[in-house]
Chains A and B, each alone.
Chain A
Amino acid sequence: MEQFFNITLDLLVGFGETLKIFFVTLAFALPLGLIIAFGSMSKFKPLAALCKAIVWVIRGTPLMLQLIIVYYGPGLVFGQMLLSASVAVYITFSINYACYFSEIYRGGIESISKGQYEAGQVLGMTKTEVFFKVILLQVIKRIIAPMSNEIITLVKDTSLARVVTYYELIYFAQRYIKNAGLLWPLFYTAIYYLVFTAVLTLLFGWLEKKLDYFKA
């Protein structure tokens, strides 16, 4: 019993590391995704092409491979490691998820009727005002479902960070196999992921309800 308690606490520390990746990635990828979305919708063709190319490369290659390239790549090119494991993980996850988010944003923004922009314009509002005061909340309402999908995937993708020696939940659990011959802690990690995704699911459900008062 004491062993179970201690391992639970130890895994909680590992889960803390997992959460770090989760929250840092969201903090950077949510705004960065919006910037990439605007870039790929830009009327300036080279910028749009560049953004679309980035999204293609990032979405077209495995996240695990991207982690390895960002972490070990500088070592191969410059002869020395430039990034710590955690920084490499944060950068890679942020860029990777920003690209996925950008496509969701783009779909959401393009689905808003032109009339909303025009109504804002004829009322003398600036483009920025129209976007932030009129368009954004409608976009958020429309993208909650795909975003919650992506964000829940992120919870589980954090386990990939292990390949570049970032010590997260799965790594913590796997040590018990090597050091103590215990397999169950690894299976036990599922509970942590499940509880956390349950919390997120409730949160998204709440947000969806909160925005139910209007139709867009």
Chain B
Amino acid sequence: MNILEVKNLRKRFGDTEVLKGVSFSLKKGEVLSIIGSSGGGKTTLLRCLNFLEKANSGDIIVNDKTVYSAKEGEKPVVSQEAQLSFGLVFQQFNLFPQYSVKENLMLAPKLRTKRKDTLGQRETMGEISERADMLLEKVGLTEKADSYPCQLSGGQQQRVAIARALMLSPEILCFDEPTSSLDPELTGEVLKVIRSLKDSERTMIIVTHEMEFARNVSDRVIFIADGVIEEEGTPEEVFGNPKSIKTRNFLSAGKEG
């Protein structure tokens, strides 16, 4: 069964159409990498999936439930569970600077428990704290629980951001160029964490410029150019034997540059 189905997603900014009808699906536990040149629409696609941008038209279906549906010229319908189906790890981490590492993890779940219209189960503070400890261990930052973001390296901050996103147990975890603002020597620790998530069968969508990583970690790769999916397949197919000329040009430019 498909955990995610995206149908004919279109997004315009003013007169510029950034997504020109994007459709794809994702199975549970699958890791999908989205590659393509800057301005091609990969980040916009990810932002539409996380409702940071509202697609002008198209459907987003999670576990056979339509969580987002938009028609041209009409107000989009977003279901309540929509936001929490997806988690997002940003290029710039976006940790909350005034909170310690552990508080960063606990803030959203704590607020969710306090809220009256809480969906799903209510956790006690103890359970939230326990889960935070567990996830910090998973990303290897147990000893940094009481540090503040400004005291951490970029790689450590990004690992905290990953743990923070996991606190909400999203069905699908998205990464927006998770290593692009890191020094080269720090990308490894973040990629290692992402790889360990793949081993625990987490469904993920990764927008990335790290071709080697995309090749190694993904089950499937999508190449986006000019707002459409130009090529889609297994890493072997897309990297080893690309069908489209655009894909071939993109991949060979990467090798030379």
- Interface-lining segment among B11-19, B68-76, B88-96: B88-96
CA distance A126 to B119 in the complex (A): 13
Cβ of A213 under 8 Å from chain B: yes
Across the interface, B149 reaches (CB within 8 A) one of A122, A125, A133, A214, namely A214
- Name which of B52, B90, B111 has the most chain A CB atoms within 10 A of its CB: B111
CA distance A65 to B118 in the complex (A): 53
How many interface residues does chain B have, given as a range? 20 to 34
Cβ of A209 under 8 Å from chain B: no
* B209 neighbours in A (Cβ, 8 Å): none
Across the interface, B83 reaches (CB within 8 A) one of A116, A121, A141, A213, namely A121
* A214 neighbours in B (Cβ, 8 Å): 97-98, 148-150
B100 to chain A, nearest CB (A): 9
Question: Is A215 touching B111 in the complex (CB atoms < 8 A)?
Answer: no
* A124 neighbours in B (Cβ, 8 Å): 83-84, 108, 112, 168
Count of CB-CB pairs between chains A and B under 8 Å: 64
A209 to chain B, nearest CB (A): 15
CA distance A213 to B97 in the complex (A): 9
Interface residues of chain A, those whose CB is within 8 Å of chain B, are 113, 115-116, 118-126, 129, 133-134, 137-138, 141, 211, 213-216
* A118 neighbours in B (Cβ, 8 Å): 52, 88, 90, 94
CA distance A137 to B107 in the complex (A): 14
B65 to chain A, nearest CB (A): 17
Question: Is A215 touching B97 in the complex (CB atoms < 8 A)?
Answer: yes
Cβ of B223 under 8 Å from chain A: no
Cβ of B164 under 8 Å from chain A: yes
Cβ of B250 under 8 Å from chain A: no
Cβ of B154 under 8 Å from chain A: no
A213/B148 contact (C-beta < 8 A), A121-B52, A121-B83 known: yes
- Name which of B84, B95, B96, B97 has the most chain A CB atoms within 10 A of its CB: B96
